[in-house]
Amino acid sequence: MQTTARAALAAAMIAAAASFATGEAAAQQPVPQPAQQPAAEPCNALCQLVRGIGGDRNPPGARQAAAPPQATGQPPLALETAKPKHLRRAAGHAPHRNAGTSVNDLATSAVRDAPAAARNLPEDGAAPQAAEATPAKAPAPPAKAGPARLGVLMGPDEALEPILADLGAALGPKVKVEPVRGKAAPLKDLLSLPSVDMAVVSSPMLAEAGTAAAKLVYVAKLFGEELHVVAGSEVRTLEDLAGKAVYLGAPGGDSELVARAALAQRGVAVTPAGGTLAEALVGLREGRIAAVMLLAPKPFAPIAELGGGGGLHLVPVSYAALGENYDPASFSSADYPGLVRDGERVETAAVDAVLIAPWWRESSPRQQELTTASRALMERFPELLKEGRHPKWKETNLAAVVDGKRRLKAADQWVQSQIKRRRAASAAQ
């Protein structure tokens, strides 16, 4: 009996010792505690386990504990790649306000925050597409370019209006010629008006360009323009105009320059008549103006329409003492019926009409436009020789040189290529 009791007591003591040893070992085992756990809310390991399963995962002031590594070899849950914010929203999952930022979230933040176009992502939040998954679309064909615009300066007297009309018809549809009415000073208008690309000026005007000549190039020497002096029957020479009212053209223009030179050469002083050419022609018919002096390529319709009524006629002008920029010319009854008697010729002076343009740098868009326009003019020049065009075009020699002036590079290259071609053709014969 005593033996049995002693055995039972020994077994109880051994069990108690084992239980005590187990408790000591558990007490010495480190237990993970939440960061900055408030002292008022002690929590043992069992409490933490309960909270991790279904309790408050993020108590106030606490951080979410990292889950232990999985046995399957997968990366820790806290390092799992998170879907970009815009994808979570698209799928209907609002992001947790207090969710922690993972390493992979930081690694993809630059891509997520970049513009959708830079990431090959649609702006509406749809799923991103791999660059190689969708073949690049062929670029849309460029919009059909319209005709190149060419603004050509036209004097206020409209003497060159028929010429510019011919240019527009010949250069279309690649180049659209738009006449620009100047104020009178053609060189100033050419260099200052943004709507002007080219201008037709007289050789005396170009010779007096001064420092502005360095900013200009010529495209082609076109043809001669004649000085018209229309007066009544009482005027037979320029000397008869002394002290009388005479229309000289728009102030600062080619007509005024040439008319004054002709009068000065004869020592004649006149009273310039103002107004437009149309007003001057009316004044001439009514006798309020003694003469109209105008530089224009013959035949010029407004003058031809005067006829010979009221004794109107063309007055002769001598070119001999006017200088090197002037050439001899004449009018016949074929040019101006009624203003010139049949079988007679009226002597006058002529000057060259020169197509000029501002000088631009080769890389300038304006220079490229001039190149396009000048090449079109050279290549389409035969169109200007057809029936119905102004007869002055038949006087044009595109290879003619303006002494002391630079030719537009594109125009010069075209001329030189034509010269070489003709020489080669002649040598082959």
131 located within any domain:
no
379 located within any domain:
yes
CA dihedral 311, 155, 168, 362 (to 10 degrees): 150
Per-residue pLDDT, 345:
97
Number of domains in the chain: 1
Per-residue pLDDT, 10:
53
123 located within any domain:
no
124 located within any domain:
no
Per-residue pLDDT, 6:
56
134 located within any domain:
no
Range of the structural domain that residue 385 is part of: 148-428
243 located within any domain:
yes
For residue 229, CA distances in Å to 261, 290, 315, 332 come to 13, 10, 5, 14
392 located within any domain:
yes
Can you tell me which residue has the tokens 């993809």? Answer: 108
What does the pLDDT look like over 311-325, one tens digit per residue?
999 999 999 889 889
Residues of the chain with pLDDT under 70: 1-146, 184
What does the pLDDT look like over 357-369, one tens digit per residue?
999 988 888 888 8
84 located within any domain:
no
The CATH number covering residue 316 comes to 3.40.190.10
What does the pLDDT look like over 206-255, one tens digit per residue?
999 988 889 999 999 999 999 999 999 999 999 999 999 999 999 999 99
Q: Which of 202, 209, 152, 154 is nearest to 357 (CA)?
A: 152
Question: CA Rg, the chain, in Å?
Answer: 48
